[in-house]
């Protein structure tokens, strides 16, 4: 393995790094040896089978069985929460230095295993090589970032003033006890690693439920924590349906806080229903309908690169994907020409192959959404390029579609609905203020991008756009590619419940509550 200093991020990865691809090829062989087996879930470190096993197949090729995963029952969930609650006092009173030492070891294990973990992720959810490697390495960096935040702030303990009586006067942040993490398929490691490590370093015990597509990657995260020495009571791994496992977690009175990443509808349901007898913290990241505005003062080569990467990276199946673009009329035709030309060069296929950029979409629901949006464009607008499902030859056994650019009227639902497929809508504008109004006209507010070489326009956009993560003139991605400690990731409006961002300076504090301590010594 390369030494730890060999950094991989979404911005630094290169498709022509031969050493990286050689190591990845070895990782594929290791990951393939894991396929097709039965996997229990774990309560207090003990394997359980629940109500039996459910199969997971690859979106790359439906003949590939990722594995069979045990399905937890409501009783299993209650047991897991009871174990976490019983251990929460001990874990919460474990010195924070010891907690972060364990989590840092887990981060190092993830980095050591990154090639086989990334290959598994590609097989399980269809990410290309560089996207999968980025997800894994971002996971390790999220663990390290959250540990560093605890260290930087001395475990969030602050001396306070005395009013005269001798003694101890200090303020500190303390854990809630049991914290649930429900993660999505699209970043099956990073969007589990960030919240789980935030909860753990803060002193909470975690009950973790990954998405069904992404469950094996979630299990590998559990193994990294376990192998790093995390006590069995501190982390419970539950596989199973959301209607059972998720519902029991959300409605259990002993769950003190929850982090959910997924749809707006489910997230808002959790946000409104989780706290019953008293207020409890809910951290939800609920997607986006992310806009990019391209000025007539933009570098169009840079802008089309950024839009393409954010619209079609991982098939648009990112909360941060760029799904709508407003381009100044003066440069609209040239922008479209360039974007179409670049899009038609994208290689679609098996994402395990090193020259493939666009793999499959996740499932039949995604295929249906894609076909519905393409049909809407054919009926009420036009398809610039793409618009077809790919079903011949190597594509026959997987969920493959063409990267697609469409023009549709601004009142079409394509501009409003989060699609999670590789389809981007484009439209011309005449006035920047009008473009900003259109960009902000959504219940979401996750990410946004802008291209202009005019500083006055940039400042106007920066001070007007309603989104939590914003980028200007970024070739690596118009709206995607955040990294812990570089671009904290969190949304405004319907994209997030707290206004705080993962991988940022205010994230870990959400997993704790304040306690003022006064001990008089007279």
Q: What is the pLDDT of residues 403-443, one digit of tens each?
A: 999 999 999 999 999 999 999 999 999 999 999 999 999 99
Q: Class of 290-484 per CATH?
A: alpha beta
Quick check: 298 and 284 in contact, CB under 8 A? Answer: no
Q: In the chain, where does the domain assigned CATH 3.40.309.10 lie?
A: 290-484
pLDDT tops 60 at residue 78? yes
Considering the entire predicted model, what is its pTM?
A: 0.96
519, β-bridge pairs: 168
Q: What is the model's pLDDT at position 10?
A: 72
pLDDT tens digits for range 113-160: 999 999 999 999 999 999 999 999 999 999 999 999 999 999 999 999
Yes or no: domain 19-286+499-520 corresponds to CATH 1.10.3720.10: no
pLDDT tops 60 at residue 5? no
Among residues 334, 399, 337, the alpha carbon closest in space to that of 365 is found at: 399
Number of helices followed by number of strands (H, E) in the chain: 14, 24
Q: In the chain, where does the domain assigned CATH 3.40.605.10 lie?
A: 19-286+499-520
Catalytic (active site) residue 319: yes
Task: Find the mean pLDDT for residues 240-253.
Answer: 97
pLDDT tens digits for range 27-77: 999 999 999 999 999 999 999 999 999 999 999 999 999 999 999 999 999
* b/e code 249-287 from CB counts within 10 Å (16+ = b): bbebeebbbbbbbbbbebbeebbeebeeeeeebbbbbbb
Catalytic (active site) residue 285: yes
pLDDT tops 70 at residue 1? no
Quick check: 183 and 261 in contact, CB under 8 A? Answer: yes
Collapsing DSSP to helix, strand or coil, 345 comes out as coil
Catalytic residue among 147, 319, 376, 466: 319
pLDDT tops 70 at residue 3? no
Cα dist. 51→207, 243, 447 in Å?
19, 14, 40
Question: Roughly what angle, to the nearest 10 degrees, separates helices 114-125 and 18-34?
Answer: 70
Cα(31)–Cα(23) distance, integer angstroms: 12
pLDDT tops 70 at residue 254? yes
First CA to last CA distance, the chain: 59
Catalytic residue among 124, 285, 457, 466: 285
pLDDT tens digits for range 479-515: 999 999 999 999 999 999 999 999 999 999 999 999 9
Average pLDDT over the chain reads 96
């Amino acid at each position: 393995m390369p030494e730890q200093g060999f950094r991989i991020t979404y911005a630094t990865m290169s498709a022509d790094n031969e050493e990286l691809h050689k190591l990845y090829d070895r990782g594929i062989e290791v990951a393939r040896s894991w396929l097709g087996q039965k996997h229990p879930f774990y309560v207090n470190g003990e394997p359980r089978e629940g109500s039996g096993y459910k199969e997971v197949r690859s979106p790359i090729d439906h003949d590939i069985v990722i594995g069979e995963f045990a399905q937890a029952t409501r009783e299993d969930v209650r047991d897991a929460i009871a174990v976490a609650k019983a251990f929460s006092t001990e874990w919460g009173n474990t010195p924070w230095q010891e907690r972060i030492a364990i989590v840092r070891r887990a981060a190092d294990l993830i980095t050591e295993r990154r090639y086989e973990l990334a290959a598994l992720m590609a097989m399980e959810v269809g990410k290309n090589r560089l996207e999968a490697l980025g997800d894994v390495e971002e996971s390790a960096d999220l663990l390290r970032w959250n540990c560093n935040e605890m260290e930087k702030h001395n475990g969030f303990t602050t001396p306070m003033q005395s009013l005269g009586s001798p003694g101890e006067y200090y303020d500190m942040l303390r854990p809630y006890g049991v914290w649930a993490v429900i993660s999505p398929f699209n970043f099956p490691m990073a969007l589990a690693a960030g919240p789980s490590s935030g909860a753990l370093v803060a002193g909470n015990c975690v009950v973790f439920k990954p998405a069904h597509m992404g469950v094996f990657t979630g299990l590998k995260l559990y193994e990294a924590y376990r192998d790093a020495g995390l006590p069995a009571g501190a982390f419970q791994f539950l596989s199973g349906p959301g209607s059972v496992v998720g519902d029991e977690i959300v409605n259990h009175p002993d769950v003190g806080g929850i982090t959910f990443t997924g749809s707006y509808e489910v997230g808002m349901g959790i946000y409104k229903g989780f706290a019953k007898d008293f207020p409890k913290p809910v951290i939800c990241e609920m997607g986006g309908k992310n806009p990019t505005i391209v000025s007539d003062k933009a570098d169009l080569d840079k802008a089309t690169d950024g839009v393409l990467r954010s619209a079609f990276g991982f098939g648009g199946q990112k909360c941060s994907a760029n799904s709508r673009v407003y381009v100044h009329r003066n440069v609209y035709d040239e922008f479209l020409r360039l974007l179409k030309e670049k899009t038609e060069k994208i290689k679609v296929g098996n994402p395990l192959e090193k020259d493939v950029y666009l793999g499959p979409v996740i499932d039949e629901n995604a295929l249906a959404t894609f076909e519905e949006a393409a049909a809407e464009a054919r009926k009420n607008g036009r398809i610039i390029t793409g618009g077809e499902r790919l079903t011949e030859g190597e594509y026959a056994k997987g969920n493959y579609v063409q990267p697609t650019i469409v023009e549709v009227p601004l009142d079409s639902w394509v501009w409003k609905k989060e699609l999670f497929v590789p389809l981007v809508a484009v439209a011309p504008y005449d006035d920047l203020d009008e473009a900003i109004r259109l960009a902000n006209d959504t219940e979401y507010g996750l990410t946004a991008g802008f291209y202009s070489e005019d500083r006055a326009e940039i400042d106007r956009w920066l001070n007007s756009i309603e989104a939590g993560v914003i980028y200007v003139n970024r070739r690596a991605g118009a709206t995607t590619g955040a990294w812990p400690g570089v671009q904290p990731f969190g949304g405004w409006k319907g994209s997030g419940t707290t206004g705080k961002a993962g991988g940022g300076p205010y994230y870990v504090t959400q997993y704790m509550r304040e306690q003022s301590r006064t001990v008089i010594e007279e």
